[in-house]
A = this chain, B = another copy of it.
Amino acid sequence: MSEKISPAVIRRLPKYYRYLEELESKKIDKISSSQMSIEMGLNASQIRRDLNCFGGFGQQGYGYSVEKLKKEIARILGLDQRYNVIVIGAGRIGQALMGYKNFMLEGFNVVDIFDNDPAKVGTEVLGREVMDVARLSSYLEEKNIDIAIICTPKEYAQQSADLLVSFGIKAIWNFAPTDVAVRRGVAVENVHLSDSLYVLSYKLKEKIKGTGI
């Protein structure tokens, strides 16, 4: 099956996945698009269109199998794989992400953490010794690392990305408060924590209910 799924649908898949996980934890094994529509706040016909994009599993008047649908979405997102992850930047955000158990559950295994600050290198974070970024090159030659999380200050973000890409890293999850650019063939997600804080500020000002936007 071709995997030509539109970016907008891809962006919605994690939301479906979370919702299906919740159904599973409640031991619900079938779900209709209309019920999903009510609970997820999405249009029912959009849900049907989205799920049809990758074959769907719904039967008229019967609904979707929660297990099958979740499995299929996991497969499309690549969550049926295991990933080795390193963190660059052993500040508070880096340490928090290193210890974020929820990622582990989905196959993202954070194995090591790096910093360029001599005061941090050698200290322990969650049972792992903080490594010197100067050792990245030989480290990455030896180990099979899939994803690097950048948690450096803004001014080190792009050079960290360049370094990682030059050493063969193919996916970067960037938490530094600036976008990093990468060459074709390397995946990047720039996370902007403050974006949702700004939207919250707008909602607060306009007294808009949580689900209003």
Q: Which of B147, B185, B200, B205 contacts A189 (CB 8 A)?
A: B200
Within the assembled complex, what's the spacing in Å between the Cα atoms of A197 and B188? Answer: 10
> How many copies are assembled?
2
Please determine whether B204 and A3 come into contact, CB atoms closer than 8 angstroms: no
- Chain B neighbourhood of A208, CB < 8 A: 187
Please count how many residues in chain A sit with their CB below 8 Å of the partner chain's CB atoms.
Answer: 68
Most B Cβ at <10 Å: residue of A192, A200, A204, A207: A200
- Chain B neighbourhood of A77, CB < 8 A: 198-199, 201-202, 205
Please determine whether B204 and A14 come into contact, CB atoms closer than 8 angstroms: no
Task: Pick out which of these stretches binds chain B: A56-64, A94-102, A113-121, A131-139.
Answer: A94-102
Known: A14-B195, A185-B207. 5 other contacts (CB 8 A): A77-B198, A78-B202, A108-B201, A183-B209, A189-B196
22 A–B contacts from the bound complex (CB under 8 Å):
A3-B206, A11-B195, A13-B199, A14-B195, A14-B198, A18-B194, A78-B201, A78-B202, A92-B92, A92-B99, A93-B100, A102-B193, A147-B204, A170-B204, A171-B201, A171-B203, A171-B204, A183-B209, A184-B209, A187-B204, A187-B208, A189-B196
Q: Residues of A with Cβ closer than 8 Å to B?
A: 3, 7, 10-11, 13-15, 17-18, 22, 76-79, 81, 83, 91-93, 95-96, 99-100, 102-103, 106, 108, 146-147, 170-173, 177-178, 181-213
